[in-house]
Structure formats: structure tokens, C-alpha cells
Amino acid sequence: MSDAMINSEDNLMVITTHARAKTDIRHIHEFLGCHTSERWLNLACEHLPLLLQDHANCEKKAAGTAMNLIFRYEFHRTLQERLAQLVREEMLHYEQVLSLMKERGIDWHYLPAGRYAKGLLKHKRTHEPAAMVDVLIIGAFIEARSCERFGALADVIEDEKLARYYKYLLKSESRHYEDYLMLARSITDDSIDERVAFFRDVERELIQSPDDELRFHSGTPSDTLMANGIPPITTQSKDQPAKVS
Ligand SMILES: [Fe+2]
Ligand SMILES: [Fe+2]
């Protein structure tokens, strides 16, 4: 039975109760230009509610971005098929993360996007098919980094259910990375290696350089962020209305 055919909460119970075969993500580590820093991992572990809120935002955005591509490039059959599956999976993940937030008493909290996706997309070329190649390569990096961070977090967080859930996500997120890269290669006769290398450098810089915010894809926590701390998010603030993005 496919994931999408199971009720998301039943599915979540199954996947977070039973151990799954380990997913090998060595190819993800080889693809990316760097590993996540210990400083980011330590801070993320101290702010799991914030991380879950940003994770929910990311799943929804991943589905939305893929849906936009489906509408924009409707001539491309393989893209339609792969991204339709990806949209289904990202929306299932979205529902699952909402369930995990509910279980932990984390209300929906407005959290603006960090610098990461914008920092990649600002380098997108504007003419076709170069723009499409770049968007697909950027998609591959975002999925690969998600995968790398789920793997790293699963090894260190004490919340066992969440750790098992992150391990479960490795399989689909690593496939999403491969699909985006395959689609980027499929739409051009030219080699995409140079653009992949370019975005690898941009992505590594975004991950390694100091960042004043903590997000799922944020950079290394800056000294300012470490000194000032992050206000906890556990309940919805009354003066900050929930915002539907
Ligand atoms: Fe996802
Ligand atoms: Fe994904």
C-alpha cells in the first residue's frame, strides 16, 4: 500500500513504532558541499517546537513549489509524473508534522522564512530552459539538505518518536533529490555539472556562514543568535495572529 493511501495519523503511528531498514544517504553527503555543524544541531535540539513549525512550513512549500512547476512545464510528461507523486508525499508529510505538533501541544505559530531558499533562488537564470534547469537543481539541493539534516537530527535528538520519523523521511527525501536532479538533466542536451558545482558552493556558503536565525535550513548559528537566545514557541501568541501562507 502506498503511503498516500493510509490515513496520515495511522501511518504516523506505524512508522514511529516499528523500526525501519536504514536508508543509506552516503550519496547525499557526497553531493552536498558540507555537513551540518554541531552548533546548529545543538541549538536545533534545544528548539524542537520551532524546528517542527519550520518543518511544517517547508513541507507545504515543497508541495507548492512542485505544483507550480507542474502548471508551468505541462509539456514535460516525466516531470508531471514525478512531481505529482512528490506533491502527494509532501502533503502527507505536512499532515504528519501537524500531527506531531498537536501531540506535543505546539500551536501553529507564524514563522517567516529564513534566508536559505531566497539565497539560492536569487542566482536562478531568467531565460528558458536555463531557468528551469536552475530551479530543478535548486530543488535537488533543498531536498538533499533536508535529507542530510533529518539524518543528523535522528542521531542526536532525545525525542525517540521524532527520531524514528526523521529516519523514515530519509527514503522519500533522498528520492526527491534524485528526481529533481534527473529532471534537470532530462531537459537539456548540455551538461549541468557546472551549474550543480555553482549551486553546491552557494549552498555550502548558506549552511556554513553565520546566521542570525534558526530555521530547518539555516546557516551556522551566529554569535549574536547564541548570545541573544531564541524566544520559545510552545503556544500561539495572542498578539500575533496565525497567518496562512
Ligand atoms: Fe517532505
Ligand atoms: Fe521532499
- Judged by DSSP in three states, 221 sits in strand
- CA–CA separation, 25 and 38 (whole Å): 19
The predicted pLDDT at position 23 comes to 83
pLDDT tens, position by position, 125-156: 999 899 999 999 999 999 999 999 999 999 99
Q: How many whole angstroms from 231 Cα to the centroid of ligand 2?
A: 28
Mean pLDDT to the nearest integer, 195-211: 98
Model confidence, pTM: 0.90
Q: Is the per-residue pLDDT at 6 higher than 70? A: no
Mean pLDDT to the nearest integer, 12-32: 79
Kindly state the cell numbers that stand for 144. 538533499
- Which residues make Cβ contacts (< 8 Å) with residue 96, sequence separation at least 6? 8, 11, 12, 165
- Which residues make Cβ contacts (< 8 Å) with residue 159, sequence separation at least 6? 48
Kindly state the cell numbers that stand for 86. 512528490
Q: Which ligand minimizes its atom distance to the CA of 174?
A: 2
Q: Which ligand minimizes its atom distance to the CA of 176?
A: 2
Would you say 120 and 206 are in contact if contact means Cβ atoms under 8 Å apart? Answer: yes
Q: Which ligand minimizes its atom distance to the CA of 57?
A: 1
The predicted pLDDT at position 232 comes to 74
The predicted pLDDT at position 176 comes to 95
Q: Which ligand minimizes its atom distance to the CA of 166?
A: 1
Q: How many whole angstroms from 228 Cα to the centroid of ligand 1?
A: 31
Sketch out the chain's domains with CATH numbers.
Answer: 33-227 (1.20.1260.10)
The predicted pLDDT at position 243 comes to 42
Per-residue pLDDT band for 7 (boundaries 50, 70, 90) equals low
- Which residues make Cβ contacts (< 8 Å) with residue 61, sequence separation at least 6? 113, 117
Q: Is the per-residue pLDDT at 222 higher than 60? A: yes
The predicted pLDDT at position 227 comes to 93
Q: How many whole angstroms from 140 Cα to the centroid of ligand 2?
A: 9
Q: Mean pLDDT over all residues of the chain? A: 90
pLDDT tens, position by position, 60-97: 999 999 999 999 988 889 999 999 999 999 999 999 99
